[in-house]
């Protein structure tokens, strides 16, 4: 029998993340596997540990190269909403909730793997590492300049 967690790399990954097991991800999330990056994956992206209010750079899609603040994170389907990124225009007809109708603009969710965390000091997309403080608290620091990401 094949169990999703028997793979050793996954086990390591779970330890690194220190978060919920990968087993909890729903196999039915086909949208992600189709539109996510091929090959250099989902696993690496997870290490960035993007949080709300982080500054991120978009590395893929129509807003590639832009920088924005993370507004919302949906861990369940690996999507995030970034300020002023992936603006969707929705045409609404008058009636129902929208009395006036017209066009509504709002940020649409994007794949978490399409963004990279930014370092304020390097002003470049970075990889982070986890650092344990004396009081046992773990913080995220820039792998390049050791600038603390968490404040």
> Which residues sit at the interface with Zn ion, rule CB under 5 A?
119, 121-122, 142, 144-145, 147
With respect to Zn ion, which residue has the nearer C-beta, 74 or 124?
Answer: 124
In angstroms, give the least distance from the CB of 17 to Zn ion. 21
The two structure tokens encoding residue 22: 């990968």
With respect to Zn ion, which residue has the nearer C-beta, 110 or 116?
Answer: 116
With respect to Zn ion, which residue has the nearer C-beta, 116 or 119?
Answer: 119
With respect to Zn ion, which residue has the nearer C-beta, 81 or 117?
Answer: 117
In angstroms, give the least distance from the CB of 130 to Zn ion. 15
The two structure tokens encoding residue 12: 């390591």
d(CA 138, CA 151): 11
In angstroms, give the least distance from the CB of 116 to Zn ion. 12
In angstroms, give the least distance from the CB of 117 to Zn ion. 10
With respect to Zn ion, which residue has the nearer C-beta, 12 or 44?
Answer: 44
Best CA proximity match to 119, nearest among 89, 143, 97: 143
Dihedrals phi, psi of 50, to nearest 5 degrees? -70, 135
Contact call for residues 56 and 117 (beta carbons, < 8 A)? yes
What does the buried/exposed string (b/e) look like for 112-147 if buried means 16 or more CB atoms within 10 Å of the residue's CB? bbbbbbbbeeeeebbebeeeeeeeeeeebbbeeeee
In angstroms, give the least distance from the CB of 63 to Zn ion. 23
């Amino acid at each position: 029998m094949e169990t999703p967690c028997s793979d050793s790399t996954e086990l390591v990954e779970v330890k690194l993340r220190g978060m919920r097991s990968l087993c909890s991800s729903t196999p039915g999330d086909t949208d992600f596997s189709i539109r996510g990056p091929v090959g250099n994956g989902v696993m690496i992206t997870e290490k960035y540990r993007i949080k709300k209010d982080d500054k991120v750079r978009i590395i893929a899609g129509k807003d590639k190269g832009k920088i924005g603040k993370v507004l919302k994170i949906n861990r369940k389907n690996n999507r995030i909403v970034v300020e002023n990124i992936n603006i969707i225009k929705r045409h609404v007809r008058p009636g129902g909730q929208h009395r006036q109708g017209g066009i509504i603009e709002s940020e649409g969710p994007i794949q978490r793997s399409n963004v990279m965390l930014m370092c304020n000091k390097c002003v470049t997309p970075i990889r982070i590492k986890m650092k344990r403080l004396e009081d046992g608290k773990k913080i995220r620091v820039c792998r390049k300049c050791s600038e603390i990401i968490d404040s």
